[in-house]
Chains A and B, each alone.
Chain A
Amino acid sequence: MASASAAKTQAATAQGEQAAAKAAAASDVSVALPSRREFLYYIWGASFALIAGEITAGVLWYAFPRFAEGEFGGTFTIDPTELPEPGAAPVSKPEGRFWLSRPVIDGQDSFVALYAVCTHLGCLPKWVDVNNRFECPCHGSKFQGNGTYIEGPAPRSMDRFRATLIFTDGTTAVTNAAGDPIPLEGRTIASIQVDTGSRIQRAGKV
């Protein structure tokens, strides 16, 4: 009995030693810290990755289009005499791809600069005087003078550009984040700036 148990213990000890030796061998490989030379190579490699990133960013910056004032993508300064009468047909500014619209909303004279491209597939809606609305020649989407969706496959109302109005009394007004028409509140416009680089999408058919 005793000898048998002793043999068992011996075997167990031998197994334990083997496992310990294995673990030691494994740790020899995995724990070794990088030497100074190896570490410097890593740093060098990282600096290559950094410069590659910088060059990529530089190339993208280089390739990014820039817009001059009065060119589509840049800012347009509009003389207020070009504006339509309140509630009259919008006026097209083809060089900036937008319409100057002066809708009367709840009796309030207001102003909005509408992007000329249909929100459906990129055609150009025409203003149809007799029907008093924008009509897209491609798939028949229709929009009110203030850009609001009426019918057709377009997913949302017409997009609009951020406009800054400067009034003769010194106050200013900027298109809000939702792109609502700016109420004029009886003030006289001295100057209009339309930023065609800043397009606002309506949150649906509103």
Chain B
Amino acid sequence: MSVLPFPSFLDDVKEKGLKKAVFEGVDEVVERLTAGLNIQDVREALRGESPSRRPNPRLTPHADGFWLHMRPSYFNTEMVGIYPTFRLGWLSTYFVFFETITGIILMFWYTPSPEIAYGNMLAMLHNVPFGQFVRDLHRLGAEAMVLIVFLHMLRTFYTGSYKKPRQFTWFTGVILLILTGFLSFTGYLLPWDQLALWAVTIGASMAEATPLIGEQVNLIVRGGPEMGANGLLRFYMAHVLMLPALLFVFTGVHYYKVIIHGHSLPPQSENIGEDTAKRVPLDKRVYFIPDILTSEVMWFAVTTFVMIALCVWFYHAPLESHADPQVTPLGTTAPWYFLWIQGALKLGDKTFWGVIFPGILLGFLMVVPYIDVGPSRRFADRRIALSVSFLMLTATVVTSYMGLPEFGVATAPDQEILNELTFEPAHNHMGLLRPVPFEQLAVGAYTTRQFAAEEVDARAAVEAFNVELEETGQLATLVQNLQSSHLNIQTVNFTPVPADAAELRHVMEEFEAFIASENIELLDGWGAVIITQNQQDVKRIDVIVNWQDIVLENGRPVLDENGQPIPVVDENGNAVRRLSTKHIFINQNSAYFD
């Protein structure tokens, strides 16, 4: 006998033999870990057999275990297919955990400081094994989550699942939608690149439109009058602490409500107010163990595989150049899921369209189940609700389109052209001059006039241009302007583009085409590119657009009866010419030429 007051393992071995004693020990461990299923039970479940002992051991993990206590022990067979849920609620939950895990991994290499954050991004791209991959997963997961949560809401609406008794479930769902939007938005800023800074600056400026306390809200959110170190730290804390905490709490409330009311069945199988959760007929039960569990494992595997495959072969999280509070990229937009607010903002008053309108819309969404109390879930009985939803969907699409920079943001054509030639890489595009090979950027001054009149010999056209500049005094203005932007030159002498610089020549032809296409607003316009080199590996490119000023009204040219623009003249009756310039530096080792 054992010295212990109860039989020991050794006693078991003596009594039953080693093999049986070990098996019984392992069996007991398995039963404890699974909170109720021994090896035999597990194997029966995996083989798809009915449980051989009663009471049904497959219900015990739901009653006694922590992990399954929040999962129902059986589902209704009518909702386990793709329809009616499309697994959208499950997928939303999947992405909550997916984003949490990838986010925690990213936190190892991230410091929320404007000095370090962008360096962290570069380090992750080049020096951290799987760094880029994890960032891709997290970014793609975030965008997918916004989309899936939105689709989940649409599905719930169209099947009428928000109706009694599930009104409050819908209400918490709208809170989760808002939290998802804010989580995605706060995460947008963290890479601290141009895309992040300016999209968030535009988005956060909507807070400024809050009536009465707009300025205070803005200061609290950004931690200063502009987005800087404090703002980055605050967004980071919101992104990794406050918002996830709220998201977990409301996910818990939401799922609890889903379970106590039972999954909503297809409209034809369930009457409003009927308690389908607790009265699932025996022949309609699909038990969680093993059927739902294995199905969820399959969904987990497929979704994870899709995410990994997308991030390995198709998707890479964007990273633009370092955030620069002094330079706003042309065509800056809010993230795509906020385009609808940006579009609405173009309709007029910032306070109304930026704060009151989204507030009313989200408030309306929250109380939809308390307004639409119709007892039927059939489409034919829900014509008003469906019409309102289509109206709102259409409005969302239209205002999102209006949020794009192409819509309603009039940019002066000279700035548009300068940008087209010089802009930094963004969204896989860059200014035309940037990829011109370094050796083709021959030092000198070139003009679009060389290409304006093809029939004339190039050298003669450029010579005539030099003379014209000299005689009209434009040359002095040009030199003065270039000197004021710290270009150390005394005069400019234009020459034809060298014969061996084919790509530069191509850019100049495009430049001429741009100016020619704006021949009303850029009346009698010419463009020039001046390339200088003061350091061994660096060339400076100045781009100039010069045109004759015309009479504008509300930013649009005033046309005379012949459809021609009206030139502005000074007090002596001479045409007034305007010019815009922009310069960039190109390094010999720059990656643009790859």
Contacts and interface: CB of A to CB of B under 8 A. Distances in A.
Interface of A: 60, 63-65, 72-73, 97, 121-124, 128-131, 135, 137-140, 151-153, 196-197
A196 B224 CA distance: 12
B223 A65 contact: yes
B226 A121 contact: no
Nearest to B553: A151
Interface in B410-446: 410-412, 414-415
B479 to A, nearest CB: 10
B225 A64 contact: no
B321 interface: no
A123 B224 CA distance: 18
A63 B220 contact: yes
B409 A153 contact: yes
B201 interface: yes
B4 to A, nearest CB: 53
A94 B180 CA distance: 37
Interface stretch (B44-52, B60-68, B275-283, B575-583): B575-583
Given A122-B202, A151-B555, A139 B578 contact: no
Contact of B230 (A65, A138, A140): A65
A128 to B, nearest CB: 8
A66 B223 CA distance: 9
B303 interface: no
Nearest to A152: B555
Contact of A139 (B198, B230, B409, B484): B409
Contacts of A196: 225
Contacts of B202: 121-122
A64 B330 contact: no
Given A72-B225, A73-B225, A151-B555, 10 more contacts: A63-B223, A72-B224, A73-B224, A97-B226, A121-B328, A124-B327, A138-B332, A138-B411, A140-B410, A151-B552
B205 A122 contact: yes
Contacts of B205: 122
A137 B201 contact: no
A124 B580 CA distance: 15
Given A138-B411, A140-B414, A153-B409, A129 B219 contact: no
A139 B224 contact: no
Nearest to A140: B412
- Most chain A CB neighbours (cut-off 10 Å) among B223, B411, B412, B480: B412
A151 B411 CA distance: 11
Contacts of B580: 128, 135
A135 B418 CA distance: 14
B477 A139 contact: no
Contact of B220 (A64, A138, A151, A152): A64
Contact of A153 (B201, B223, B410): B410
Nearest to B330: A138
Given A65-B223, A72-B225, A151-B552, A122 B328 contact: yes
A128 B580 CA distance: 9
Contacts of A153: 409-411, 555
Contacts of A121: 202, 328, 332, 409
A124 B219 contact: no
B357 to A, nearest CB: 18
A64 B579 contact: no
B535 interface: no
B216 interface: yes
Interface residues of B, number: 34
A97 B225 CA distance: 11
B564 interface: no
Interface string B237-273: 0000000000000000000000000000000000000
B220 A139 contact: no
B2 interface: no
Nearest to B230: A65
B143 to A, nearest CB: 24
Interface in B542-594: 552, 555, 578-580, 582
B553 to A, nearest CB: 9
A127 to B, nearest CB: 9
A108 B332 CA distance: 40
A147 B201 CA distance: 23
B578 A131 contact: yes
B206 to A, nearest CB: 12
Contacts of A64: 216, 219-220
- Most chain B CB neighbours (cut-off 10 Å) among A60, A135, A196: A135
A123 B328 contact: yes
Given A65-B230, A139-B415, A124 B410 contact: no
A137 B409 contact: no
A197 B226 CA distance: 12
Interface in B320-349: 326-328, 330, 332
Contacts of B415: 137-140
Contacts of A124: 326-328
Interface string B206-219: 00000000001001
Contacts of B412: 139-140, 152
A139 B411 contact: yes
B512 to A, nearest CB: 21
Given A65-B230, A72-B225, A122-B205, A129 B481 contact: yes
A121 B327 CA distance: 12
A73 B330 CA distance: 27
27 contacts: A63-B220, A63-B234, A72-B224, A72-B225, A73-B224, A121-B332, A122-B201, A123-B328, A124-B327, A128-B580, A129-B480, A129-B484, A130-B477, A131-B579, A135-B580, A138-B330, A138-B332, A139-B409, A139-B411, A139-B412, A140-B410, A140-B412, A140-B414, A140-B415, A151-B552, A151-B555, A153-B409
A97 B230 CA distance: 18
Nearest to A129: B484
Nearest to A89: B484
A63 B218 CA distance: 12
